[in-house]
Structure 1
Amino acid sequence: MPTRLMDRQEVFRLVEQEMAQLVEVLPRERYEQVHLPGALQMGLRDLDRQARERLDTARPVIVYCADELCDLSARAAARLQQLGFRQVYDYVPGKADWLAAGLPREGEIASTPLSGDVADRDVPVCTVDQTLDEALAVLDETGRRVGVVTDADQVVIGLLRHEDAAARIGGVVDDVLQSGPATVRADRPLLPLLERMARSGTAAVPVTDPEGHLLGLLEREDVERLVARGEVGAG
């Protein structure tokens, strides 16, 4: 039975350390739009012929499709094993998981900026038990009006606004944080997001991976500048 991969970091490891071959089994037009770096495209109907012509049976093979609900990669992995490939992996979360985490991509639309590309990766971060004085010092030092509150694993817990922290004497971040803020994935198109932020009056939104880990902070002003320069498409 092919090995099911759920961890995108394991995909990285297999490709970099064990020279695994990446294969996307979605239709060619979807592959050409955007795909994982170095991936080959093979449809299920052409898999038998192309696998023999383009793949090395001595090297591991990782197949992927759209997401966990797509069965193309599972079917392709099963067939590759029948064709004599011994190390076959099915990257179950697929391309949706990879792109949502803001990892490198190739293809026709790969250069179009997305939320993860524009987000500030050097955002001030604090924890719930940090004193407000300490958190304010970090915000002042960076000149930021908002910081992101995370746990020890960098999972987003809330936001800390400078004005809220400055208005309270003493205490810790947990006393004034804005809990449960909306977040977006790294592959979110910018123009629809900007429209939503403008309607709701949101100045900044955390960008997270599918596990809720902080990737950066996306500020509305940054997106507006890109739009003004004509660098943002509808997505």
Structure 2
Amino acid sequence: MDQISREDLLALLQARSVQLVEALPADAFAAEHLPGARNVPGQVSAELAAQIAPDRAATVVVYCSGPYCNRSKIAAAAFARLGYVDVRVYAGGKTDWAQAGLAFEGSRASAGVGQPA
């Protein structure tokens, strides 16, 4: 599975040419997630994948909490098995995003918890 750096992910987000997927439980997603991300809290079914990323040729980037979390790799492999041709893993995940001082969306973000000053 191809990995993607934070810088390359930011470029894709700026160009609006990526479907960003968080592979963490729904409560973690609700608390905070990368801007524009969709949530896959469990297994990736064909139906769920089609709802989240209907274009199998589009770039799909999956992330989770950080480099020691395997959920993103498992979800990315499922997207690839379902015929998605450009699936990448942002291995740094939420940890790398936060360390870079980048903003999150979600209930914690709207409350200002954990946001850079």
The reply to whether TM is greater than 0.5 is yes
Aligned position for 1:28: 26
Aligned position for 2:11: 13
Q: CA deviation at 1:68?
A: 0.5
Deviations 1:9-62 (A, max 9, x none): 1111122236110000100000000000000001232x1121022212121000
- 8 Å Cα contact 2:108/2:114 also seen in 1: no
Aligned length: 114
d(CA) in 2 for partners of 1:69, 1:104? 21
Provide TM-score, normalisation by structure 2: 0.89
d(CA) in 1 for partners of 2:113, 2:16? 31
Amino acid at match of 2:17: M
Aligned position for 2:70: 71
Structure 2 residue runs without a partner (length 5+): none
Provide TM-score, normalisation by structure 1: 0.46
Cα gap change, 1:115 to 1:86, in 2 (>3 Å) = closer
Q: CA deviation at 1:102?
A: 1.0
Amino acid at match of 2:60: V
- 8 Å Cα contact 1:4/1:89 also seen in 2: yes
Amino acid at match of 1:39: A
Amino acid at match of 1:95: K
Q: CA deviation at 1:113?
A: 4.8
Deviations 1:81-132 (A, max 9, x none): 1100000010001111101211121000103154622xxxxxxxxxxxxxxx
What's the Cα RMSD here? 1.5
Which structure has more RCO (C-alpha within 8 Å, separation ≥ 6)?
Answer: 2
Cα gap change, 1:84 to 1:115, in 2 (>3 Å) = closer
**Highest CA radius of gyration, 1 or 2?**
1
Structure 1 residue runs without a partner (length 5+): 118-235
